[in-house]
Amino acid sequence: MCGIVAYIGHRQAYPVIVKGLKRLEYRGYDSAGVALLNHGVKLYKKKGKVAALEETTLGKDLDGHIGIGHTRWATHGEPSDRNAHPHLSANGKLAMIHNGIIENYALLKQELIKKGYRFHSDTDTEVLLNFIEDIQENNGSTLEEALRIALKRVVGAYVIVLIDKDNPDTLIAARKGSPLVIGIGKGEHFLASDASPIVEYTKEVVYVNDYEIAIIKPDELILKNLGNERQTPFIQKLDLELAAIEKGGYDHFMLKEIFEQPSTIYDCLRGRLDVIQGTITMSGIRNNMDKIKNANRILIVACGTSWHAGLIAEYVIEELCRIPVEVEYASEFRYRNPIIHKGDMIIAISQSGETADTLVALENAKEQGAVILGVVNVVGSSIARLSHAGAYTHAGPEIGVASTKAFTAQLTVLTMVALMIAKERNTITRDRYLHLLNELNEVPEKVKKALEAAEHIQKLALKYKDVSDALYLGRGYNFPVALEGALKLKEISYIHAEGYPAAEMKHGPIALVDESLPVVFVATRDTYHEKIISNIQEIKARKGKVIAVITEGDEIITAMADDVLPVPEADELIAPIISTIPLQLLSYYIGVAKGYDVDKPRNLAKSVTVE
């Protein structure tokens, strides 16, 4: 949440920062701003997207080789020009950007008001900035010292970057709980919330750790902890290509990412699944297999779409490995004093690897002795680094705010993890194991086939775009797919949608059914097929409109439903990876037909780094 970019070096800072902010808009787009240092601080900020900021700066003085920029997802204070970052300190010397939340800002604000400070925004950021300025002025400290003192009193999460009129060759940054990457160039440094603004300039990066302060000059990067001890920067090579973060001819990132799924799933399987040898190799899992296979219980912790992947994993792991599984919303889990035993294993699922609730839930569980296994997409992210073991999903950067390719990659990895554990525990027959390996191997082709229905789904979207509500139903492995389908529709088209286990609809939601309510059934051929056919009949009997995701050639449901979305046949355990595809496309095309910005749906942000 909130994207930050900063630059120091020989280039003009403004174009680097604005281009970077556009890449980070998925993190928030309520307002954007830039501060440049050149004989004083030049500050430009505007409510709305980065494009609005660009309009504001047309014809203005944008000269400067050091600068900071921000794209905001509002927490404290409505989206507005005055709440936009960067903020200026009272004496006008410091400018700061911030991603995160300062939880004790109200207390600090009161202290500052008593000292005569006046505030020009409603943000916690301006409070922290003036708190730093106040320490600097009262103690006669350097900015670095003042920052260290201030951060020891701050409760919350932050990445902050400061520029100082009196030190025009230095950027100062600090991190706790929110991500910060520093790109190292020749005589220049780039700072950003993720690597996407950096990749076209350098592939050498340092991921700043919690409680570290970075003092950055064009030719020098110094890292210190809050105790003022030097830390050695660990320079890593970025494994990211520029093409991966561009739209590549598609109208939206979301559509590009939906269509990338045959190759992202293939990348996820590549080098791991070997159908000829009958093996799955994931070293992060293999090296920790003793702990994993002997787990008494598995707790899956995640949020949103990743939580839906967790629900499917629950069904798969219990079925294949016979280990009890519980799936937890990270935001609930972290606060409800959960019981965690020594032999428990936690599987953390996160695309970004930065979701604040998931991160803190894991920190708590780790302290209580749980083994953490991360299923994460963003390499080097906080959750990946906190995990004892893990497997990356290798879906590449997901920029559309609604998660698509990360979800199917999560399901692919989780199925492989379950198969590895089941084999070790001898809870799966050789035949079933080999059958599922083959099924997994065929997923990229089947997803490709499912995507061929895009044009048909686009037409269907026009038929249903004006509905006000929708119900999504599924049973067994397809129940969480129904939840995910409903979430996608809500996010992208702002249509109220609910997902339910199909049988459960008789306990309430069926009251909503009339001729205006579309009911989307995820009804591929599986153990529950006859039961879901009965559920479809129940909806039809009440004049509901039925849209059904079916297995190709299912004539029974085709004859009953108003519209069908056929997908290739697959084992029921693998089917969710494929039956999700038409639901992603349906939401996408409805969102587009309604004229919405599907890559940046209102009020949402990709990486939820505030709780």
The binding site for ligand F6R (CB under 6 A) comprises 303-306, 350-352, 355, 358, 402-403, 487, 491, 607-608
State the catalytic residue, choosing from 22, 47, 109, 606. 606
Structure tokens at 502: 């199909």
Residues 6+ apart with CB under 8 A from 419: 280, 320, 428, 433, 436, 437
CA atoms of 602 and 581, how far apart (whole Å):
23
Widest Cα–Cα separation across the chain:
80
DSSP state of 209: P
Contact of 68 with 96, CB cutoff 8 Å:
yes
Contact of 46 with 31, CB cutoff 8 Å:
yes
In sequence order, what are the beta bridge partners of 280? 273
Nearer to ligand F6R, 491 or 554 (CB): 491
Contact of 96 with 89, CB cutoff 8 Å:
yes
Nearer to ligand F6R, 1 or 143 (CB): 1
Residue with tokens 């379950």: 418
Which residue lies nearest ligand F6R, judged by its C-beta? Answer: 304
What is the CB-side half-sphere exposure of residue 113 using CA atoms within 13 A?
8
In sequence order, what are the beta bridge partners of 76? none
CA atoms of 349 and 339, how far apart (whole Å):
20
Nearer to ligand F6R, 453 or 489 (CB): 489
Structure tokens at 425: 């525990």
Nearer to ligand F6R, 351 or 580 (CB): 351
Nearer to ligand F6R, 301 or 321 (CB): 301
Residues, the chain: 611
Question: Residue 12 CB, nearest distance to ligand F6R (Å)?
Answer: 33
What are the φ and ψ backbone dihedral angles of 178, each rounded to 5 degrees?
-120, 155
State the catalytic residue, choosing from 2, 268, 303, 321. 2
Question: Residue 485 CB, nearest distance to ligand F6R (Å)?
Answer: 11
Residue with tokens 């990229």: 444
CA atoms of 590 and 598, how far apart (whole Å):
10
Nearest alpha-carbon partner for 385 in 207, 611, 181, 233: 207
Nearer to ligand F6R, 484 or 526 (CB): 484
CA atoms of 416 and 279, how far apart (whole Å):
10
Contact of 24 with 178, CB cutoff 8 Å:
no
Contact of 394 with 240, CB cutoff 8 Å:
no
Nearer to ligand F6R, 132 or 489 (CB): 489
Residue with tokens 């004989």: 39
Nearer to ligand F6R, 147 or 487 (CB): 487
Quick one: three-class SS letters along 327-361? Answer: EEEHHHHCCCCCCCCCCEEEEEEECCCCCHHHHHH
CA atoms of 207 and 170, how far apart (whole Å):
19
CA end-to-end span of the chain, whole Å?
A: 10
In sequence order, what are the beta bridge partners of 301? 328, 348
Question: Residue 302 CB, nearest distance to ligand F6R (Å)?
Answer: 6
Nearest alpha-carbon partner for 108 in 150, 164, 158: 150
Contact of 564 with 557, CB cutoff 8 Å:
yes
Q: One-letter amino acid identity for 494?
A: Y
Question: Residue 504 CB, nearest distance to ligand F6R (Å)?
Answer: 22
Nearest alpha-carbon partner for 579 in 470, 484, 467, 456: 484
Q: Based on the residue annotation, tell me whether 606 is a catalytic residue of this protein.
A: yes
Structure tokens at 289: 């297999």
What SS3 class is residue 372? Answer: strand
Structure tokens at 28: 């928030």
What are the φ and ψ backbone dihedral angles of 14, each rounded to 5 degrees?
-55, -55
Question: Residue 378 CB, nearest distance to ligand F6R (Å)?
Answer: 8
Nearer to ligand F6R, 563 or 599 (CB): 599
Question: Residue 11 CB, nearest distance to ligand F6R (Å)?
Answer: 31
Nearer to ligand F6R, 303 or 321 (CB): 303
Nearer to ligand F6R, 403 or 551 (CB): 403
Q: List residues with catalytic annotation.
A: 2, 606
